[in-house]
């Protein structure tokens, strides 16, 4: 399929124009042309004591990073690269569902803007048409008083050319392809910020449970034969996520919960 390439630049005025009152209060918006990683910029703000509520976006990342030490391909003008600084109240253990919850928030926002049906692949990949369209990378910075400082990094493929995506070694797509529409990245950025302002405030008050429930409705792996890498790897049928965000797997020896790792879908019949 022909991929669409976006032309509109990220524009702080256009992004701010669509922010809700809650969002305008929550975020200090920073838009940069090129950065190493938007997560790095949030760290710099945090070191100056200005981390909470900073929302950094960039047209391009030269050292974009993904989970498990992977590179996040971040060509100029094609996608959304966004990092949020947030100080979460409550103990670290209560935050284990945070990355899944953020994935659910981003999926809600993206679906509202582009109309495509998105799924969530444990732990925090966004999927469309069986291919990865986005991901979340959370880096914890440590305690700040009673709160935990986090950098929440979000990458969404919006309209990436086949050439720009050629070095990505796993099946990928972008929101324009998945929805068949041109996507305005400024509109998408506002929707993500609005949803995060609302959702993170909710998590501060009620914890992650409501968002984990939303995540469960979009669970890409549920019912599929999977294997999660690790030593030893765990294979079985994916059976949802626990209240702490762990992946539940029905194995030959019973139910197991896995808190980290990479889940791969197995070919039909591979478990037999």
Residues 141/131, Cβ–Cβ less than 8 Å: no
Site map (CB under 6 A) of ligand BTN, residues 78-97, x = contact? ---xxx--------------
- Member of 6, 39, 157, 173 binding ligand BTN (CB under 6 A): 39
* Nearest distance in Å: CB 62, ligand BTN: 10
| Residue with smaller CB distance to ligand BTN, 100 or 236 | 100
How many residues bind ligand BTN (CB under 6 A)? The answer is 20
| Residue with smaller CB distance to ligand BTN, 48 or 170 | 170
Tell me the residue number closest to ligand BTN, measured at CB. 135
Contact call for residue 65 and ligand BTN (CB under 6 A)? yes
Dist. CA 120–CA 103, nearest whole Å: 7
Contact call for residue 103 and ligand BTN (CB under 6 A)? no
| Residue with smaller CB distance to ligand BTN, 194 or 236 | 194
Residues 99/136, Cβ–Cβ less than 8 Å: yes
Contact call for residue 66 and ligand BTN (CB under 6 A)? yes
Residues 172-211 close enough to bind ligand BTN by CB under 6 A: none
Q: Which stretch binds ligand BTN (CB under 6 A): 18-26, 47-55, 133-141, 233-241?
A: 133-141
Binding site for ligand BTN (CB under 6 A): 37-39, 61, 64-67, 70, 72, 81-83, 125, 135-137, 153-155
């Amino acid at each position: 399929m022909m991929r669409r390439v976006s032309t509109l630049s990220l524009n702080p005025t256009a992004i701010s124009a669509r922010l809700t009152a809650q969002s305008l209060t929550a975020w200090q918006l920073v838009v940069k042309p090129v950065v190493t990683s938007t997560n790095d910029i949030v760290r710099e703000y945090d070191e100056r004591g200005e981390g909470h509520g900073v929302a950094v976006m960039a047209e391009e990342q030269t050292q974009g990073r993904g989970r498990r030490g992977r590179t996040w391909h971040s060509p100029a003008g094609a996608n959304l690269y966004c990092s949020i600084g947030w100080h979460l109240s409550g103990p670290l253990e209560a935050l284990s569902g945070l990355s899944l919850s953020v994935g659910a928030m981003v999926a809600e926002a993206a679906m509202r803007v582009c109309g495509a049906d998105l799924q969530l692949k444990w732990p925090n990949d966004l999927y469309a048409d069986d291919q990865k369209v986005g991901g979340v990378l959370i880096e914890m910075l440590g305690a700040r008083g009673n709160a935990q400082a986090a950098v929440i990094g979000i990458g969404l493929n919006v309209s990436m050319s086949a050439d720009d995506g050629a070095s990505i070694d796993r099946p990928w797509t972008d929101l324009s392809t998945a929805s068949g529409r041109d996507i305005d990245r400024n509109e998408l950025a506002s929707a993500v910020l609005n949803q995060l302002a609302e959702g993170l405030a909710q998590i501060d008050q009620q914890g992650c449970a409501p968002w984990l429930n939303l995540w469960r409705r979009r669970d890409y792996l549920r019912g599929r034969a999977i294997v999660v890498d690790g030593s030893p790897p765990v294979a079985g049928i994916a059976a949802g996520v626990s209240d702490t965000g762990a992946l539940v797997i029905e194995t030959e020896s019973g139910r197991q919960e896995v808190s980290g790792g990479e889940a791969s879908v197995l070919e039909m019949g591979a478990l037999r």
